[in-house]
Amino acid sequence: MSGKKTEWAGRLMALCLGVMFLVSGGAKVVDLSSFVREFSAYGIITGQPLALVSAWGLLALELALGAALVAGWRLRHSLYAAAALMLLFIVAVLWAWQAGTTEDCGCFGSLVKRSPSEGLVEDLAILAVIAISWLCVRKAPSDGSLPRFLVVVAAGLAGIFLPFAFGFSPSAVLNPPLPGAPLPAFVLSAPNSPDLHKGDYLLFVMETGCDHCRSDIPAVNEIARTPGLPQVVALCPNSPAEVVRFVSLFAPPFSLFMVSQQDFSALLGSAPTTPRYLLVRDGRILKNWDGRAPTIAELSAK
């Protein structure tokens, strides 16, 4: 392949990488709360404020880098930065995989769910493409023009400000619903759905594919079948098809309703992962349990 063709092949690969970073960042923009939660679940950075700032900054960096690759701004240096970012992701995924702290790598936000092992394979493949792209363009002239730089800056700023347009609330992440707080305002739109702001309920905040949630099902079933305890209502952000599969697999004796990703994030707050249980009475949270189902004794003593 001639030098010019090699260069254009490298630029095409860089363009595809940039689009991938923009799609990945865009998915996080739409639901930054979920990304912050997944980021926190890695357990690398402790303290919710620092995790929030780090995840938000990473989003802005990812979008800026994607724009740089698409625009061809200082391409060799942008590929260096992309490689560094992927190495950071790989180290984080290896950490999470070894520690077993998360089931979702969070690579594409809530758009696509990937296990740490799947995320690791993808990240290694992307790193290889970055290396090939760099080899192809390493002798190409660098374009550091102001218009292209402004595109990069605009993309980074979009990562900072656009999440607000999709309902992101830093206070909801930093101040999750805890005992004494009112239940976040939302309405279940399904037919015959209960008004969760009236009466006693145990809310099972879950995801249908979550292994920890599934392992809790026997305990939740026992609670649902025990007379005198609050009605169990499960809430999840999954698709109708995923809910149907879950119900056919487990035949739960409790109701399962879909909520928006935004409402789901508000219910979870800073909880690092599902499941979360909220004991509510007339729209006010009495108690919460994160990561485990409450015992019948705990609920009987409410």
Cα 137 to Cα 130: distance, rounded to the nearest angstrom:
11
Instruction: Give the β-pairing of 284-290 and 231-236.
Output: unpaired
Residue environment code for 102-112, b if the CB has 16+ CB neighbours within 10 A, otherwise e? bbbbbbbbbeb
Q: What is the pLDDT along the chain (302 residues), one digit of tens a residue?
A: 567 889 999 999 999 999 999 999 999 998 888 788 788 777 777 777 888 899 999 999 999 999 999 999 999 999 999 999 999 988 888 887 776 655 554 555 555 566 677 778 889 999 999 999 999 998 888 888 999 999 999 999 999 999 999 888 887 777 666 677 788 777 676 777 888 889 999 999 999 988 889 999 999 999 999 999 999 999 998 889 999 999 999 999 999 999 988 788 778 876 667 899 999 999 899 998 988 999 999 998 75
**Which pLDDT score is estimated for 57?**
95
Cα 25 to Cα 32: distance, rounded to the nearest angstrom:
10
**Which pLDDT score is estimated for 92?**
84
**Which pLDDT score is estimated for 269?**
72
Contact 268, 275 (CB under 8 A): no
Q: Which pTM value belongs to this model?
A: 0.72
Q: Give the chain's largest Cα–Cα span.
A: 78
Contact 174, 55 (CB under 8 A): no
**Which pLDDT score is estimated for 157?**
97
Instruction: Give the β-pairing of 276-281 and 284-290.
Output: antiparallel
**Distant-in-sequence, close-in-space partners of 251: CB < 8 Å, separation ≥ 6:** none
At 231, phi and psi to the nearest 5?
-65, 135
Output the six-digit token pair for 272: 């690092």
- H-type alpha helices, the chain: 3-30, 32-41, 48-71, 75-99, 116-137, 146-165, 170-174, 211-225, 240-250, 261-268, 296-300
Is 272 in a helix, a strand, or coil? coil
At 142, phi and psi to the nearest 5?
-95, 135
Cα 199 to Cα 284: distance, rounded to the nearest angstrom:
10
Distance of CA 111 to the CA centre of its chain: 8
CB burial of residue 266 (10 Å; 0-12, 13-18, 19+): buried
Cα 166 to Cα 28: distance, rounded to the nearest angstrom:
10
Output the six-digit token pair for 219: 């305990």
- Rounded to 10°, the helix 32-41/261-268 angle is 40
**Distant-in-sequence, close-in-space partners of 220: CB < 8 Å, separation ≥ 6:** 204, 232, 234, 252, 254, 293
Domains of the chain: 3-173 (no CATH), 200-300 (3.40.30.10)
**Which pLDDT score is estimated for 126?**
95
**Which DSSP string corresponds to 4-15?**
HHHHHHHHHHHH
